[in-house]
Protein backbone atom coordinates (compact mmCIF):
# COMPACT_ATOMS: atom_id res chain seq x y z
CA UNK A 1 0.00 0.00 0.00
CA UNK A 2 1.17 3.50 -0.79
CA UNK A 3 0.05 6.66 1.03
CA UNK A 4 0.94 10.01 -0.54
CA UNK A 5 0.75 13.42 1.15
CA UNK A 6 0.05 16.38 -1.11
CA UNK A 7 2.01 19.62 -0.96
CA UNK A 8 0.80 23.20 -0.83
CA UNK A 9 2.94 25.18 1.60
CA UNK A 10 2.06 26.46 5.06
CA UNK A 11 0.69 29.42 7.01
CA UNK A 12 2.63 30.86 9.95
CA UNK A 13 0.44 33.66 11.31
CA UNK A 14 -3.26 34.32 11.88
CA UNK A 15 -3.66 36.47 8.76
CA UNK A 16 -2.11 33.95 6.37
CA UNK A 17 -4.01 31.09 8.03
CA UNK A 18 -7.31 32.98 7.69
CA UNK A 19 -6.63 33.49 3.99
CA UNK A 20 -5.80 29.82 3.64
CA UNK A 21 -8.95 28.71 5.47
CA UNK A 22 -11.13 29.81 2.55
CA UNK A 23 -9.18 27.84 -0.04
CA UNK A 24 -8.89 24.16 -0.91
CA UNK A 25 -5.60 24.10 1.00
CA UNK A 26 -7.27 25.14 4.24
CA UNK A 27 -10.67 23.46 4.26
CA UNK A 28 -12.34 20.49 2.64
CA UNK A 29 -15.50 22.58 2.37
CA UNK A 30 -13.93 24.89 -0.25
CA UNK A 31 -15.64 27.82 1.42
CA UNK A 32 -16.12 30.97 -0.64
CA UNK A 33 -17.02 33.07 2.39
CA UNK A 34 -15.66 32.85 5.91
CA UNK A 35 -18.37 33.27 8.55
CA UNK A 36 -16.16 33.08 11.63
CA UNK A 37 -12.82 34.38 12.85
CA UNK A 38 -11.98 31.09 14.57
CA UNK A 39 -9.13 28.94 13.32
CA UNK A 40 -8.73 25.26 14.08
CA UNK A 41 -5.34 23.64 13.62
CA UNK A 42 -6.19 19.98 13.15
CA UNK A 43 -3.35 18.62 11.06
CA UNK A 44 -2.45 15.91 13.56
CA UNK A 45 -6.08 14.84 13.94
CA UNK A 46 -6.51 14.74 10.17
CA UNK A 47 -3.40 12.56 9.88
CA UNK A 48 -4.76 10.17 12.52
CA UNK A 49 -8.17 10.13 10.82
CA UNK A 50 -6.58 9.22 7.47
CA UNK A 51 -4.69 6.35 9.04
CA UNK A 52 -7.82 5.17 10.87
CA UNK A 53 -9.68 5.19 7.56
CA UNK A 54 -6.96 3.22 5.78
CA UNK A 55 -6.45 0.54 8.43
CA UNK A 56 -9.66 -1.44 7.74
CA UNK A 57 -9.13 -0.95 3.99
CA UNK A 58 -5.95 -3.00 4.00
CA UNK A 59 -3.29 -0.99 5.83
CA UNK A 60 -3.70 -3.10 8.99
CA UNK A 61 -2.68 -6.20 7.02
CA UNK A 62 -0.20 -4.63 4.62
CA UNK A 63 2.96 -6.56 3.90
CA UNK A 64 4.59 -3.60 2.17
CA UNK A 65 3.83 0.09 2.69
CA UNK A 66 5.37 3.30 1.36
CA UNK A 67 4.60 6.73 2.79
CA UNK A 68 5.42 9.46 0.31
CA UNK A 69 4.70 13.14 -0.21
CA UNK A 70 5.72 16.15 -2.26
CA UNK A 71 6.73 19.65 -1.13
CA UNK A 72 4.96 20.42 2.17
CA UNK A 73 3.70 16.84 1.96
CA UNK A 74 7.29 15.74 1.53
CA UNK A 75 8.25 17.59 4.69
CA UNK A 76 5.35 15.86 6.46
CA UNK A 77 6.90 12.50 5.51
CA UNK A 78 9.99 13.44 7.52
CA UNK A 79 7.77 14.33 10.47
CA UNK A 80 5.48 11.26 10.35
CA UNK A 81 7.64 8.49 8.93
CA UNK A 82 8.38 6.59 12.14
CA UNK A 83 4.88 7.05 13.55
CA UNK A 84 3.45 5.67 10.30
CA UNK A 85 5.26 2.37 10.79
CA UNK A 86 3.71 1.86 14.23
CA UNK A 87 0.29 1.33 12.65
CA UNK A 88 1.54 -1.55 10.51
CA UNK A 89 1.96 -5.26 11.28
CA UNK A 90 5.34 -6.04 12.86
CA UNK A 91 6.50 -8.05 9.87
CA UNK A 92 5.50 -5.39 7.33
CA UNK A 93 8.14 -3.73 5.17
CA UNK A 94 7.58 0.00 5.70
CA UNK A 95 9.55 2.73 3.96
CA UNK A 96 9.26 6.47 3.34
CA UNK A 97 9.99 8.76 0.40
CA UNK A 98 10.11 12.55 0.45
CA UNK A 99 9.96 14.41 -2.86
CA UNK A 100 11.04 18.08 -2.76
CA UNK A 101 10.64 18.12 1.01
CA UNK A 102 14.25 18.66 2.03
CA UNK A 103 13.79 22.33 2.89
CA UNK A 104 17.13 23.74 3.88
CA UNK A 105 17.93 25.61 7.07
CA UNK A 106 19.99 28.27 5.31
CA UNK A 107 20.35 32.03 5.00
CA UNK A 108 18.83 33.99 2.14
CA UNK A 109 20.78 36.40 -0.06
CA UNK A 110 20.38 39.03 2.66
CA UNK A 111 22.06 36.72 5.20
CA UNK A 112 18.83 36.29 7.13
CA UNK A 113 17.33 32.98 8.23
CA UNK A 114 13.91 33.86 6.85
CA UNK A 115 12.71 30.23 6.64
CA UNK A 116 13.89 29.51 10.18
CA UNK A 117 11.85 32.46 11.41
CA UNK A 118 8.85 31.29 9.36
CA UNK A 119 8.95 27.76 10.79
CA UNK A 120 9.47 29.04 14.32
CA UNK A 121 6.30 31.16 14.03
CA UNK A 122 4.43 28.22 12.50
CA UNK A 123 5.41 25.88 15.35
CA UNK A 124 4.39 28.41 17.99
CA UNK A 125 1.05 29.31 16.35
CA UNK A 126 -0.09 25.80 15.50
CA UNK A 127 1.30 23.96 18.52
CA UNK A 128 3.34 21.65 16.33
CA UNK A 129 6.06 20.88 18.88
CA UNK A 130 4.12 17.99 20.44
CA UNK A 131 3.98 16.26 17.04
CA UNK A 132 7.70 16.53 16.26
CA UNK A 133 10.14 13.63 16.53
CA UNK A 134 10.69 13.06 20.25
CA UNK A 135 14.25 11.84 19.89
CA UNK A 136 15.05 15.01 17.96
CA UNK A 137 13.34 17.49 20.31
CA UNK A 138 15.04 15.99 23.36
CA UNK A 139 18.45 16.14 21.69
CA UNK A 140 18.43 19.41 19.75
CA UNK A 141 18.50 22.87 21.31
CA UNK A 142 15.27 24.29 19.85
CA UNK A 143 12.05 22.66 18.56
CA UNK A 144 12.24 24.48 15.20
CA UNK A 145 15.37 22.50 14.37
CA UNK A 146 13.30 19.31 14.27
CA UNK A 147 11.03 20.82 11.60
CA UNK A 148 13.96 20.98 9.20
CA UNK A 149 14.77 17.66 7.48
CA UNK A 150 18.53 18.08 7.81
CA UNK A 151 18.19 18.08 11.61
CA UNK A 152 15.53 15.39 12.03
CA UNK A 153 16.67 12.90 9.37
CA UNK A 154 19.33 11.39 11.62
CA UNK A 155 16.67 10.46 14.18
CA UNK A 156 14.42 8.58 11.73
CA UNK A 157 14.83 4.80 12.02
CA UNK A 158 12.57 3.78 9.10
CA UNK A 159 14.27 3.28 5.70
CA UNK A 160 14.09 6.66 3.96
CA UNK A 161 14.56 7.94 0.41
CA UNK A 162 15.30 11.63 -0.28
CA UNK A 163 14.33 12.83 -3.75
CA UNK A 164 15.26 16.46 -4.28
CA UNK A 165 16.73 18.91 -6.72
CA UNK A 166 19.86 20.69 -5.57
CA UNK A 167 18.30 23.76 -7.24
CA UNK A 168 14.76 23.24 -6.03
CA UNK A 169 12.64 26.02 -7.53
CA UNK A 170 10.52 26.63 -4.44
CA UNK A 171 13.62 26.96 -2.28
CA UNK A 172 15.27 29.18 -4.88
CA UNK A 173 12.27 31.53 -4.84
CA UNK A 174 11.32 31.41 -1.15
CA UNK A 175 14.35 30.43 0.94
CA UNK A 176 17.37 31.63 -1.01
CA UNK A 177 15.78 34.66 -2.73
CA UNK A 178 12.51 35.45 -0.97
CA UNK A 179 10.78 38.71 -2.00
CA UNK A 180 11.73 40.24 1.35
CA UNK A 181 15.42 39.87 0.47
CA UNK A 182 15.07 41.24 -3.07
CA UNK A 183 12.94 44.33 -2.67
CA UNK A 184 14.11 45.88 -5.96
CA UNK A 185 13.55 42.72 -8.00
CA UNK A 186 17.14 42.24 -9.17
CA UNK A 187 16.53 38.47 -9.29
CA UNK A 188 13.18 38.53 -11.11
CA UNK A 189 14.51 37.73 -14.58
CA UNK A 190 16.81 35.04 -13.23
CA UNK A 191 13.91 33.45 -11.34
CA UNK A 192 11.82 33.30 -14.50
CA UNK A 193 14.56 32.12 -16.84
CA UNK A 194 17.70 30.51 -15.50
CA UNK A 195 19.56 31.11 -18.77
CA UNK A 196 19.61 34.88 -18.19
CA UNK A 197 21.11 34.72 -14.69
CA UNK A 198 24.35 36.62 -14.27
CA UNK A 199 27.60 34.88 -13.33
CA UNK A 200 27.33 36.14 -9.77
CA UNK A 201 23.74 34.87 -9.49
CA UNK A 202 24.74 31.44 -10.81
CA UNK A 203 27.52 31.35 -8.23
CA UNK A 204 24.98 32.04 -5.46
CA UNK A 205 22.94 29.11 -6.74
CA UNK A 206 26.02 26.88 -6.87
CA UNK A 207 26.84 27.82 -3.28
CA UNK A 208 23.31 26.89 -2.25
CA UNK A 209 23.74 23.49 -3.91
CA UNK A 210 26.97 22.94 -1.96
CA UNK A 211 25.21 23.87 1.26
CA UNK A 212 22.44 21.35 0.55
CA UNK A 213 24.95 18.60 -0.15
CA UNK A 214 26.77 19.38 3.08
CA UNK A 215 23.48 19.20 4.98
CA UNK A 216 22.60 15.78 3.58
CA UNK A 217 26.13 14.37 3.72
CA UNK A 218 25.74 12.67 7.15
CA UNK A 219 22.77 10.74 5.72
CA UNK A 220 24.74 9.89 2.58
CA UNK A 221 27.67 8.66 4.62
CA UNK A 222 26.03 6.87 7.54
CA UNK A 223 22.61 5.57 6.47
CA UNK A 224 22.67 1.89 5.55
CA UNK A 225 19.00 1.57 4.57
CA UNK A 226 18.55 5.05 3.08
CA UNK A 227 18.51 6.16 -0.53
CA UNK A 228 18.78 9.48 -2.30
CA UNK A 229 18.46 11.08 -5.72
CA UNK A 230 19.74 14.65 -5.85
CA UNK A 231 19.64 15.97 -9.38
CA UNK A 232 20.51 19.37 -10.79
CA UNK A 233 17.23 20.21 -12.48
CA UNK A 234 15.40 23.46 -11.72
CA UNK A 235 12.18 21.77 -10.68
CA UNK A 236 9.93 21.11 -7.70
CA UNK A 237 8.15 17.79 -7.13
CA UNK A 238 9.40 15.27 -9.66
CA UNK A 239 7.52 12.12 -8.64
CA UNK A 240 4.03 13.38 -9.48
CA UNK A 241 4.49 13.69 -13.25
CA UNK A 242 5.20 10.79 -15.56
CA UNK A 243 7.40 13.12 -17.62
CA UNK A 244 9.91 13.46 -14.79
CA UNK A 245 9.22 10.15 -13.01
CA UNK A 246 9.66 7.55 -15.75
CA UNK A 247 9.42 8.53 -19.40
CA UNK A 248 11.75 7.99 -22.34
CA UNK A 249 13.16 11.50 -21.90
CA UNK A 250 12.91 11.75 -18.09
CA UNK A 251 15.81 13.34 -16.19
CA UNK A 252 18.56 10.87 -15.35
CA UNK A 253 21.44 10.70 -12.91
CA UNK A 254 24.13 8.15 -13.68
CA UNK A 255 21.82 6.95 -16.47
CA UNK A 256 19.01 6.17 -14.00
CA UNK A 257 15.56 7.75 -14.12
CA UNK A 258 13.94 8.62 -10.80
CA UNK A 259 11.57 5.62 -10.88
CA UNK A 260 14.46 3.25 -11.55
CA UNK A 261 16.49 4.62 -8.65
CA UNK A 262 13.55 4.49 -6.25
CA UNK A 263 12.72 0.94 -7.37
CA UNK A 264 16.31 -0.20 -6.87
CA UNK A 265 16.26 1.23 -3.35
CA UNK A 266 12.79 0.01 -2.39
CA UNK A 267 13.37 -3.56 -3.56
CA UNK A 268 16.93 -3.50 -2.22
CA UNK A 269 18.46 -4.38 -5.58
CA UNK A 270 21.48 -2.17 -4.94
CA UNK A 271 22.77 0.81 -2.98
CA UNK A 272 21.07 3.90 -4.41
CA UNK A 273 22.58 7.22 -3.41
CA UNK A 274 22.89 9.34 -6.52
CA UNK A 275 24.15 12.93 -6.73
CA UNK A 276 24.13 14.83 -10.00
CA UNK A 277 26.89 17.06 -11.35
CA UNK A 278 26.39 20.85 -10.98
CA UNK A 279 24.23 22.91 -13.36
CA UNK A 280 24.42 23.14 -16.36
CA UNK A 281 26.11 19.79 -17.05
CA UNK A 282 22.94 17.62 -16.91
CA UNK A 283 21.38 17.78 -20.37
CA UNK A 284 18.47 15.52 -19.37
CA UNK A 285 16.89 18.19 -17.16
CA UNK A 286 13.65 19.87 -18.13
CA UNK A 287 14.31 22.86 -15.82
CA UNK A 288 10.72 23.60 -14.94
CA UNK A 289 10.90 27.17 -13.62
CA UNK A 290 7.26 27.52 -12.57
State the catalytic residues: 71, 168, 236
Q: What is the pLDDT of residues 27-44, one digit of tens each?
A: 656 545 545 567 777 788
Q: What is the pLDDT of residues 173-190, one digit of tens each?
A: 999 999 999 999 999 999
The length of the chain is: 290
Q: What is the pLDDT of residues 118-158, one digit of tens each?
A: 999 999 998 889 889 999 999 999 999 999 999 999 999 99
Cα dihedral value 172, 115, 245, 158, nearest 10 = 150
Percent of the chain with pLDDT over 90: 78
Residues 274 and 238 sit within 8 Å (Cβ to Cβ): no
pLDDT of residue 95: 97
CA gyration radius, the chain: 19
Residues with Cβ within 8 Å of 19's Cβ and at least 6 positions away in sequence, in order, are 11, 26
Rounded to two decimals, what is the model's pTM? 0.86
Amino acid sequence: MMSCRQGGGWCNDVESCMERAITRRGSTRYMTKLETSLLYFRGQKIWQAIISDLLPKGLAHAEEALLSGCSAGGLAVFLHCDSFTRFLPRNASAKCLSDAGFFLDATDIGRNYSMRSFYNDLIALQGVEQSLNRNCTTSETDPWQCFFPQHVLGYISTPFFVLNSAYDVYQFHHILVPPSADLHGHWNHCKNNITVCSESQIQVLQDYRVEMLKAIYPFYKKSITGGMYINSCFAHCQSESQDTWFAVDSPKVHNQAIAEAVGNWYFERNRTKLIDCPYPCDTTCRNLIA
